Amino acid sequence: MFREALEVLRNRMEFDTPGPDGSERPLAEEAIKKYNSHPAVQRIDAEKIDIMWQYFRPFERNDTQRIVRKQDLKALEDIIEGRLDLMQKEYQPIIEAMSRKKDKSHRHAFAQKLLEMPSAERQEYLKMLAEKQQAEKKRLDARLEEMKLLDNEFKKQAEYEEQKETKK
């Protein structure tokens, strides 16, 4: 029985753990076949074999292990999951300077393209931009009026509900 357990563990180690250089072991395919056809694997529940593997598997060598503080690991998890604000105060001036430079470079490229246009085309383009801005402003103003009307209706409805409750 002990020999069977050793055979099962050896076969599983052969296909489950990577080789010394990190690649798949050369006899992994053969080990899978041996493992699946082994009488002990057929006889014992998979859960029990997993527990046996958990406790009697080969351990990692000390020279390949890394010791990490829990606090550092938690900080890394926060960064990866996006919960940590990387914009610390000490980096804020650099980030602001980069964003200003980015904005200026974008504006500079737009201005350069605008200056390269022929005069008539440039005037037409600027006129079209002004019309779009006016249309957008009108649309937003109309939407604001709709929202105000809805807000007034909700207020009236709330007052009506309050009056109804006070009468009861």
Residue 42 lies in a domain: yes
Q: Residue 152 is encoded by which pair of tokens?
A: 């007034």
Asked whether the beta carbons of 52 and 5 are under 8 A apart, the reply is yes
Reported as a single tens digit per residue, the pLDDT across 112-153 is 777 788 888 888 988 998 999 999 999 999 999 999 999 999
Summarize pLDDT for 41-98 with one digit per residue, the tens.
Answer: 888 888 988 888 888 877 666 666 677 888 888 888 877 776 666 556 666 676 676 6
Range of the structural domain that residue 165 is part of: 119-168
Tell me the longest C-alpha to C-alpha distance in the chain: 94
As for how many domains the chain has, the answer is 2
pTM score: 0.33
pLDDT at 110: 72
Question: Which residues have CB under 8 Å from 75's CB, separation 6+?
Answer: 84
Residue where one domain finishes, among candidates 64, 80, 110: 64
Q: Would 134 be classed as within a structural domain?
A: yes
Alpha-carbon span 95 to 101, nearest angstrom = 10
In a domain, 102, yes or no: no
